Amino acid sequence: MNRIDQMFQQLRSTGGKGLMPYITAGDPDLATTGRLLSVFDAAGCPVCELGFPFSDPIADGPVIQDSMTWALARHVRPKDILEMVQNHRAQWKMAVVAMLSYSIVHRLGPAAFIGQAAQAGMDGLIIPDLPIEEADALRGQARDAGLACSFLVAPGTAPARARQIAQASTGFVYVLARAGVTGERSEIPAELTQRLADLRQVTDLPLVVGFGVSTADQVRQVVAQADAAIVGSAIVRRIVDLRQQGAEVLVEQVRRLVVDLKGGLPG
């Protein structure tokens, strides 16, 4: 069973909900990225999204753009990221999902990238700029390699298409809390509850919510209906702000933030 499936199965068996952190690989450096992933694992996060730096943001706000620019300027490459994951994989219980542009996959070759990702111990892919109509081959390759392939449902997605996206996904369905780009927001849209209820009618996969979730209270609101809350920009901003303070300070401050965010989970 894929590690993502295992983690969510465990949560559901106890009525638990999850916190899914996002960080950009290589910010401030890959060694610190590995330490941060270990912090998330120790905190009991079921899944972590690991962003692969890319020069042309898809739906990333200024904080994550800054993070990716930093990593790219230091020549962080996909093979370096996968090597880091492979070196640590045996230490982590949590699943690790690659969040990346299809341009990266296409340049390396889908079969080659998926094979390398699986060998490194990655558990799934999120490719926001790959439409489901063009994803059949990649989905099949991912399935054969034991990787989940999750797609995004936006607030403006029509119900019929939302059903198609959910049915095309494996591992979980990524539900965008709001339209626009990533970034911290002051509130969770009220209409999210109904959208999640509608998706529950067409899929048994876990529903995870991201885009604008940045506080323990917002995590609490999201997991009242969803299986997990994704927090990205709030964590990445902490990393960006503390780059010059050194790895020890940065890692400890991110650990404290994760503890605070997990305060929004039940139990």
Sign of CA dihedral 120, 125, 126, 130: positive
Decide: 95 and 47 in contact? Cβ < 8 Å: yes
Q: How many domains does the chain have?
A: 1
Which residue of the set 5, 27, 41, 60 is catalytic?
A: 60
CB-count exposure of residue 246 (10 Å: 0-12, 13-18, 19+): exposed
Alpha-carbon distance of 56 to 76, in angstroms, equals 15
* 218-229: average pLDDT: 96
Q: How far apart are the first and last CA of the chain?
A: 27
Alpha-carbon distance of 209 to 225, in angstroms, equals 10
Which residue of the set 5, 41, 49, 123 is catalytic?
A: 49
Alpha-carbon distance of 106 to 176, in angstroms, equals 25
60 assigned to active site: yes
Decide: 150 and 124 in contact? Cβ < 8 Å: yes
What integer pLDDT is reported at residue 234 of this predicted model?
A: 93
Question: Tokens in use for 11?
Answer: 């949560």
Tens of pLDDT, residue by residue over 98-140, are 999 999 999 999 999 999 999 999 999 999 999 999 999 999 9
130 Cβ contact partners less than 8 Å away, ≥ 6 residues apart: 102, 105, 138, 151
Alpha-carbon distance of 193 to 106, in angstroms, equals 36
Tens of pLDDT, residue by residue over 31-86, are 999 999 999 999 999 999 999 999 876 656 788 889 999 999 999 999 999 999 99
Q: Which domain holds residue 79?
A: 3-262
CATH number at residue 96: 3.20.20.70
What integer pLDDT is reported at residue 60 of this predicted model?
A: 64
Say whether pLDDT at 215 is over 90: yes
For 112-177, give the DSSP string.
HHHHHHHHHT--EEE-TT--GGG-HHHHHHHHHHT-EEE-EE-TT--HHHHHHHHHH--S-EEEES
Alpha-carbon distance of 109 to 199, in angstroms, equals 33
194 Cβ contact partners less than 8 Å away, ≥ 6 residues apart: none
What integer pLDDT is reported at residue 59 of this predicted model?
A: 59
217 assigned to active site: no
Q: Between 212 and 219, name the one with better pLDDT.
A: 219
In terms of Cα–Cα distance, which of 155, 193, 178, 160 is closest to 230? 178
Alpha-carbon distance of 53 to 78, in angstroms, equals 8
What integer pLDDT is reported at residue 179 of this predicted model?
A: 56
142 domain residue, yes or no? yes
239 domain residue, yes or no? yes
267 domain residue, yes or no? no
Can you give the pTM of this predicted structure? 0.94
Decide: 207 and 200 in contact? Cβ < 8 Å: yes
229 Cβ contact partners less than 8 Å away, ≥ 6 residues apart: 17, 18, 19, 20, 208, 209, 210, 213, 218, 219, 222, 223, 264
Tens of pLDDT, residue by residue over 149-200, are 999 999 999 999 999 999 999 999 999 986 544 544 557 778 899 999 999 9
